[in-house]
Amino acid sequence: MTAAMEQWSWPPRFDDGYFPQADSRYWFPHRETMPQAEREAAILARLQAICAYAWDHAPFYRRKWDEAGFHPSHLKSLEDFEEKVPVIRKADLRAAQAAHPPFGDYLCVPDAEVFHVHGTSGTTGRPTAFAVSQGDWRAIANAHARIMWAMGMRPGDTICVAAIFSLYMGSWGALAGAERLGAKAFPFGAGAAGMSSRCAQWLDILKPAGFYGTPTYAIHLAETAIRDGLDPRRFGLKYMFFSGEPGASIPSIRERIEDLYAAKVYDSGSMGEMTPWMHVGGSRETPGMLCWQDIVYTEVCDPQTHRRVPYGQRGTPVYTHLERMSQPMIRLESGDLTVWTNDPTPCGRTYPQLPMGIIGRVDDMITIRGENVYPSEIEAALCQLPGYGGEHRIFITREGTMDEMMISVELDPERWERGEDVRRAFHAQVAAHLHSMLGLRSVIEIVAPNTHPRTDFKAKRVIDDRAAFAEMLRRQEKVSS
Ligand code: 8LE
């Protein structure tokens, strides 16, 4: 087994000088293409080791598992794992950190070994800290370099990281991967006033091969560049990889970005807690994302029972670290929604796939008159329409017995200038298209280009606010009267 799996050890150890053959499609050829049954046997052994390690080092897990009647010695199969090991939730981590500040009683290394502290944005409630040891930082860098290799990036490529450098793991994870890959890391960042214009200018000068950010930001950045008289297709980008929100696996959004930049788009990303978060991440040849099971073991589960759903079905990802020592997550429930499949892949990797990426969060679902819809489906439908101006907002109200939804959609500048008839025609087109795609009628408002604020991070397009909804209705009445 050891000879069969490149650099697979517990505790994780990596040869930081290792590179695959230059013409190899795979970073670790055997580990990525081995028969699934063989990999699963190795994963089971690793899960046994990690559960024993967590039991010994983390009162948090001992407490949780005692309550559930689980002990690491009970773990004899992957079925035992899903049946006997309870899921943990973000709220559990928050509570553990409140009771045992700052890192919670699931920190498994001495405090002195903490190398980086990152965390959740904490816009609501107590933020959660991620304590990452130096060894774990190496593991993250190695895992990300491996997946970036699969996307096509190579040593010497310049890779622009256009996401905020703060506590957000997205930017730092991409940077660590770029460094380990032997790329020219270009940590441009994001988030300060005027940065988008400057980023466009730099991209035009530097012509990097790779770009990392959120899909929303990539679209905003292209709009900014065009406004500044630059052509994003001439930035010379080849690989654009994304995380943080749905988009890169949604065909109409992916194509929009690919068209704006004349580059290939790849999806990646689970959660900050699960860094190396690229462990669900794309490859050059396979659409959507792969579950790189030997980095993080992903189970797509029924959100109620937390048992794996059959391939082909929807469920929520539950993640377990296989290469982290500092704060290993064991069955962390993501609360996201995806569909997993297990077909032969064009790239030859024997990992299960998330062909549609991550659709959204389970609790993002909007139910209107019995029809369920996710915000990302609305975005996907709008991106299919020529004339879509690039931003929209979804207003919902849950007042009374019936939910209502209004979608405020920007028209592109050129059509907007053509006047009222064109606007009306677009209105009818949006209403009909959304009705046929989503199976429900909604109130549509067409607005001028750039009405809705842009973001350089993750978009927040749903406004569940009765007052705002009433205001929209009043505007609508004024327009039609
Ligand atoms: C659809 C993965 C990272 C570091 O980019 C990130 O955004 O981590 P964070 O801030 O902990 O947020 C995690 C949440 O972002 C996930 O639960 C999911 O709802 C969303 N998300 C992340 N990547 C994707 C995504 N949603 N597609 C993605 N590729």
User: Model confidence over 334-361: pLDDT tens digits?
Assistant: 999 999 999 999 999 999 999 999 999 9
Residue 475 neighbours by CB under 8 Å, 6+ apart? 445
Q: Name which of 243, 178, 186 is nearest 217 in CA terms.
A: 243
Question: Average pLDDT for consecutive 10-residue bins of the chain (481 residues)?
Answer: 77 96 97 98 98 98 98 98 98 97 98 97 85 98 98 98 97 98 98 96 98 97 97 98 97 96 98 98 96 98 98 98 98 98 98 97 87 93 96 84 86 96 97 94 94 94 75 72 62
Ligand 1 contacts CB of residue 379 (under 6 A): no
Tell which atom from ligand 1 comes closest to the C-alpha of 289.
29
Q: Is the distance from the beta carbon of residue 89 to the nearest atom of ligand 1 less than 6 Å?
A: no
Measured in Å, residue 212 CA sits from the centre of ligand 1 at: 14
Whether residue 445 contacts residue 409, with contact meaning beta carbons closer than 8 Å, is answered with yes
Kindly report, as residue ranges, where domains of CATH 3.40.50.12780 are found in the chain: 1-359
Burial of 136-146, coded b for 16+ CB within 10 Å and e otherwise, reads: bbbbbbbbbbb
Nearest-atom number in ligand 1 for the CA of 173 is 4
Q: Is 246 in the pocket of ligand 1 (CB under 6 A)?
A: yes
pLDDT at position 288 is 97
CATH 3.20.20.70 fits 1-359, yes or no: no
**Whole-number pLDDT of residue 111:** 96
Give me the interface pTM, i.e. the ipTM: 0.99
> For ligand 1, what atom is nearest to the CA of residue 357?
27
Give tens-digit pLDDT for 126-138: 899 999 999 999 9
Look at residue 2 in the predicted model and tell me its pLDDT.
Answer: 46
Which segments of the chain belong to CATH 3.30.300.30?
365-480
How many angstroms is it from 245 CA to the middle of ligand 1?
A: 5
SS3 call for 203 = helix
pLDDT value of position 446: 97
- Give the whole-angstrom CA distance, residue 323 versus residue 294: 8
Take atom 13 of ligand 1 and give the residue whose Cα is closest.
Answer: 271
Q: Distance between CA 126 and CA 116 in Å, rounded? A: 19
Residue 1 has a pLDDT of 46
CB of 186 closer than 8 Å to CB of 208 = yes
Mutate to test the pocket of ligand 1, among 270, 329, 362, 461 (most ligand atoms within 8 A of CB): 270
Give yes or no for residue 326 CB within 6 A of ligand 1.
Answer: no
CATH topology of domain 365-480: GMP Synthetase; Chain A, domain 3 (3.30.300)
